[in-house]
């Protein structure tokens, strides 16, 4: 109470330590917070005395505390995944690996190669490694002489014969006792066979002999016919059988697939027409019943009743001359285009081109409104 600034800080730090200690129990050991680092920890604090008469001083403290709270609320949370991606340290590592080992008589030849990788340490202290990569031109061979002792084994070739694409070799294991003399010399006994016969099958070298192409599939695309071929090969193995060269083969379709395009010709060609623009440019009057119609009728009546036939014919002529209808003259533009049909079902249409004018007459008064 005598020193509220220091008293509050001590109380707050103690509460904070208790909360961290409780949290540490739930975390793995490598992620726990070291509480000893919090000794002497300082916190910026603001105190307002409601009883003081210095209102201006309290006002500034309130504004400062509000500014601090607003700033704290705008802070972003720590993304542990993002932090783990930050590499703080990179260290190269090299190591030599045994690539292969083979025996030749009393020697063993070992091939070594050096590889490198990167050791990476992130912000959280976690260590990770990249994959091993071979260092170019780092291969080396070591030729070591086998020591002679009781368990020395040497494969002795008993028989060698061929079958199809494999070379089969039979080996028999041997051993011999070797006495070490006091003067540093060796006194070996004769070799003797022991153990089961070992058989090794080694693939014979082969070469490809190209064969004719094989049609795999045919597809049609518009105006094109695409045929897909695959190259055929024949694996040829050469080896000796009964002291003579013997050839065995095995055909396969292991070549790359390739295609050939063929341009197709249209199977049907014709022109397509279309009327575009119709223009009315003239008209004239036309009788529906001509004089010929009246005279023909009058002549027929005359053969029956001569006097009355002439009278009826004259009336019909007058009636035919009196009925008229307007006939309109039209001109229209005809366009055409070339159409090609292919066996694939594809239809190719050319551009419309002007072909000719077409003339016709029509007496329908509604024709203009319809067309």
Rounded to two decimals, the pTM is: 0.32
Q: Cβ distance 350 to 341 under 8 Å?
A: no
List Cα–Cα distances, 99 to 90, 138, 141, in angstroms.
Answer: 27, 11, 10
Model pLDDT, residue 1: 45
Question: Would you say residue 35 lies in a domain?
Answer: no
Say how many domains are in the chain. 3
Domain extent, residue 134, equals 89-146
Higher pLDDT residue, 221 or 104? 221
Residues 241 and 293 reside in one and the same domain = no
Model pLDDT, residue 242: 67
Question: Would you say residue 173 lies in a domain?
Answer: yes
Q: Which own/partner pairs from 293-298 qualify as long-range (CB within 8 Å, at least 24 positions apart)?
A: 293/320, 294/318, 294/319, 294/320
Residues 216 and 126 reside in one and the same domain = no
Question: Would you say residue 77 lies in a domain?
Answer: no
**CA gap 185, 178 in Å, rounded:** 10
SS3 category, 201: strand
Residues 331 and 360 reside in one and the same domain = yes
Residues 273 and 257 reside in one and the same domain = no
Residues 173 and 129 reside in one and the same domain = no
CA dihedral of 75, 79, 82, 86, whole degrees rounded to 10:
70
Higher pLDDT residue, 262 or 323? 262
Tell me the per-residue pLDDT of 242-298, one tens digit each, with 9 for 90 and over.
677 767 777 777 777 888 888 889 989 999 999 888 888 888 888 765 545 555 555
Tell me the per-residue pLDDT of 31-87, one tens digit each, with 9 for 90 and over.
888 888 777 776 666 666 666 666 676 777 778 888 888 988 888 887 878 888 888
Model pLDDT, residue 296: 52
Question: Would you say residue 75 lies in a domain?
Answer: no
* DSSP element (H, E) containing 103: strand 87-104
Q: What is the mean pLDDT of residues 170-181?
A: 79
Model pLDDT, residue 248: 76
Residues 241 and 290 reside in one and the same domain = no
The token pair that represents 144 in the structure block = 């070591």
Model pLDDT, residue 112: 93
pLDDT of 320 higher than 80: no
């Amino acid at each position: 109470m005598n020193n509220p600034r220091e008293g509050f800080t001590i109380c707050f730090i103690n509460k904070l330590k208790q909360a961290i200690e409780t949290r540490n129990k739930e975390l793995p050991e490598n992620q726990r917070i070291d509480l000893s680092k919090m000794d002497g920890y300082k916190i910026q604090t603001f105190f307002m005395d409601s009883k003081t008469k210095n209102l201006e001083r309290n006002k500034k403290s309130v504004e400062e505390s509000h500014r601090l709270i607003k700033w704290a609320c705008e802070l972003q949370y720590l993304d542990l995944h993002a932090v783990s991606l930050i590499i703080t340290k990179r260290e190269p590592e090299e190591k030599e690996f045994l690539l292969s080992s083979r025996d030749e008589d009393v020697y063993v030849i070992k091939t070594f190669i050096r590889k490198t990788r990167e050791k990476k340490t992130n912000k959280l202290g976690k260590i990770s490694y990249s994959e091993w990569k071979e260092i170019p031109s780092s291969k080396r061979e070591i030729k070591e002489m086998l020591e002679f002792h009781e368990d020395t084994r040497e494969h002795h070739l008993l028989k060698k014969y061929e079958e199809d694409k494999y070379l089969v070799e039979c080996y028999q294991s041997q051993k011999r006792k070797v006495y070490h003399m006091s003067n540093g010399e060796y006194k070996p006994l004769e070799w003797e066979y022991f153990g089961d016969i070992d058989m090794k099958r080694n693939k014979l070298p082969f070469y490809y002999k190209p064969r004719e192409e094989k049609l795999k599939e045919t597809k049609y695309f518009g105006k094109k016919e695409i045929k897909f071929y695959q190259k055929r090969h024949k694996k040829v193995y050469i080896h000796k059988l009964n002291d003579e060269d013997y050839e065995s083969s095995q055909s396969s379709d292991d070549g790359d697939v390739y295609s050939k395009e063929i341009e197709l010709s249209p199977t049907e060609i014709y022109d397509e027409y279309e009327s575009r623009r119709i223009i009315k440019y003239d008209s004239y009057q036309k009788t529906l019943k001509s004089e010929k119609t009246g005279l023909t009728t009058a002549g027929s009546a005359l053969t029956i009743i001569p006097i009355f036939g002439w009278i009826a014919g004259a009336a019909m002529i007058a009636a035919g001359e009196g009925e008229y209808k307007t006939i309109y003259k039209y001109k229209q533009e005809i366009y055409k285009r070339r159409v090609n049909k292919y066996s694939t079902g594809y239809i190719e249409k050319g551009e419309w081109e002007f072909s000719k004018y077409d003339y016709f007459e029509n007496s329908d008064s509604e024709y203009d409104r319809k067309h």
